[in-house]
Structure 1
Amino acid sequence: MTIALEATSLTKTYGSVRALDDFSLSIPAGGVFGVLGPNGAGKSTLFRIALGLVRPTSGSARLFGAPAGDMTALRKVGAMIETPRYPPYLTARDTLTMLALESGAKSPDIGGWLERVGLGGASDRPTNGFSVGMKQRLGLAAAFFTRPELVILDEPTSGMDPAGIQEIRALIVDLARREGVTVILASHQLDEVKRVCDRVAILSRGKIAAEGAVDALTASHVRLRLLASPVDQILAVLGDKGEADGPDAVLADIPRAEAPALIKALVNAGVEITEARWREADLEGVYLRTLEQTPQDQTGAA
């Protein structure tokens, strides 16, 4: 299996701030991998180290088996880290032409990529008049147009309207599934991540809090929903394993094997149960529950 990005015991400190804390992660080539976490979790720091823009305090990062910053490996990579900035006097087409010359790209389809990211009508306009969303689109074209094997995207749809988010989502899926590009995507748009990512890692305070296939993570947080009354009596039985879900329902955080005994005990106690069914968590629920369960005794950075 080819590993696109690998971090081993990676630590990065800025003074007293520990942005990454003995962090290890292996992202295989192929598909779309999501990197999630609140501001300060260490996502951008991980990407900057992998691209050779920042040196780690200890540990190592590798791209396609080569040390971070290796030029041969970097030629296989496209990236957009945070909001891109360009010389304001250059047009979108001139910007990509300049980047093509710097990267040594041969015969890049600049016009085609500007069309593909939705900037065909703005190709010859100076970038100083671009909105944040338009600059994001140009950044995506800059990341993709050299046809890299790996693309790292940090909040790629920031500043875009819902229609623009949908367009870029479709582009990312198309690149990964039809053209074989590996995409590493960091985003706060959890619905976007769920729709495009095969696997995700949730970061908290510079560490991995959870990792796995999206379907497996959501399935692992399944809870039993009881439509029943009185709710207070059910909550008293469940204790910290129960949570009200509206005025006449409770979510029980129990293993499947314990469900029959629980239902029997509640019925014997006089609880009227109308419905009992298992509910899988959505990605947002998994994300929030994971962060709640992670110790918050450190200080993180971006």
Structure 2
Amino acid sequence: MRGLTKSFGAVRAVTDLGFTVEPGSVTGFLGPNGAGKTTTLRMVLGLITPDSGTATFDGVPYAALPDPIRTVGAVLETAFHPARSGRNHLRVYCRAAGLPVERADEVLLQVGLADAGGRRAGSYSLGMRQRLALATALLGDPGVLVLDEPANGLDPEGIQWLRGFLRHLAHDQGRTVLVSSHLLSEVEQTVDRVVIVGAGRLVREGSMADLRAGADGAGTVLVRSPEVARLAELLRADGVPLTLDGAALTVTGRTTDEIGARAFAAGVELHELRSHTSGLEEIYFQLTAGQGQFAAPSPGTTDPEGASR
């Protein structure tokens, strides 16, 4: 994606957005509601025409792909005829795309719906519908997958399965996987790279290691000790940046080895000494602070008229 820009009337949904999604990895596409994620995915798939900029697959726009279903599989929403079975839903797509109808049973097996393929799609749970949508995206055996909130409605077992399945597609089969999601803890366990957007603009792009390094800077060490005040005094004398909160000490710019050695030399008893690594959720909120479309007040706050919210 290069310089993608799109406005709807007076609303600028996406502004000069550009990033690259690489084969062999799972890329998470994150941002608050209204950040422009779905608009971006629709431009990527040719469903919306950008005002400017380009979105291509190996240099080719989606609309110009000679056989798009074999190149890109996408899940933006789940929509099925409720009276048609899951298997027949997939067979309709096979016929339309010139694929053998046997492919329907192959993808049902891939997503764990082999035993439910004969049931009406209208009787499927939300999680089953998500799996059927993923099966539809896989029909052409595409090298690229574009998935918008694929874990919605999945139970914990289904989420764990999806995590392993996406990583298998990327790492073992070399496919390109772009996943938009709000499940940050799950994204952290699934993706290799992250693209974060806010207010329609790129906020940060990089590997998980890059994001953590940027958030943690020189590193943070957490220390607990019954003699924490004395240790804090010693470290301050050494010019070490720190924050003291009760029996806990947060030290910046030093390793656990350095803090442990200083405490040992001074005869300070330690109860806890560990490095702190920022998680994706912490990094995400740092980077997107104030960029959400809808900001709710904190519990217990009041509006200007004093009415409790």
Q: Same fold (TM over 0.5)?
A: yes
Instruction: Find the counterpart in structure 1 of residue 72 from structure 2.
Output: 77
Aligned partners of 2:29 and 2:67: how far apart in 1? 21
Structure 1 residues 22 and 244: CA distance shift in structure 2, 3 A: farther
- The equivalent of 2:183 in structure 1 is 189
- Residue number in structure 1 paired with 2:265: none
- State TM-score, norm by structure 2: 0.78
Q: 1:242 to 1:143 in 2, by over 3 A?
A: farther
Task: Give ranges in structure 2 of 5+ residues lacking alignment.
Answer: 263-267, 295-309
Residue in 2 that maps onto 1:9: 3
Instruction: Tell me, yes or no, if the aligned pair for 1:18 and 1:299 is still in contact at 8 Å.
Output: no
DSSP-derived class of the 1:133 partner: helix
Matching residue of 2:247: 248
More strand by proportion, 1 or 2? 1
Which whole-Å CA distance do the structure 2 matches of 1:36 and 1:243 have between them?
A: 31
d(CA) in 2 for partners of 1:97 and 1:286? 43
Quick one: distance in 2 between partners of 1:244 and 1:194? 30
| Matches for 1:272-283 after TM superposition, within 5 Å | 277-283=274-280
Tell me the residue number matched to 2:284.
287
How far has the Cα of 1:39 moved from its partner?
A: 1.4
8 A contact 2:146–2:179 mirrored in 1: yes
- 2:194 maps to which residue? 200
Paired residues of 2:19 and 2:205 also in contact (CA < 8 A): no
Cα distance in 2 between the residues matched to 1:127 and 1:20: 35
| Structure 1 residue 154 corresponds to structure 2 residue 157 | no
How many residues were matched structurally? 276
| Equivalences for residues 123-138 of structure 1 within 5 A | 123-138=117-132
**Distance of 1:220 and 1:189 partners within structure 2:** 22
Q: Does 1:27 align with 2:21?
A: yes
**Paired residue for 1:42, among 23, 26, 36?**
36
Distance 1:250 1:104 in 2: 65
Following superposition, the deviation at residue 192 of structure 1 comes to: 2.0
User: Is the alpha carbon distance of 1:105 and 1:288 closer, same or farther for their aligned partners in structure 2, counting shifts above 3 Å?
Assistant: same
Find the aligned partners of 2:250 and 2:7 in 1 and give their Cα distance. 41
**Shift of the alpha carbon at 1:275?**
5.6
Structure 2 CA distance, aligned partners of 1:198 and 1:51?
Answer: 23
Question: Superposition RMSD on alpha carbons, in Å?
Answer: 3.1
Shift of 1:277: 4.2
- Name the aligned partner's letter for residue 126 of structure 1: R
CA distance, structure 2, for counterparts of residue 111 and residue 244 of structure 1: 61
Instruction: Tell me if structure 1 keeps the 8 A contact 2:14–2:200.
Output: yes
| Structure-2 change in CA distance of 1:108 and 1:43 (3 Å) | farther
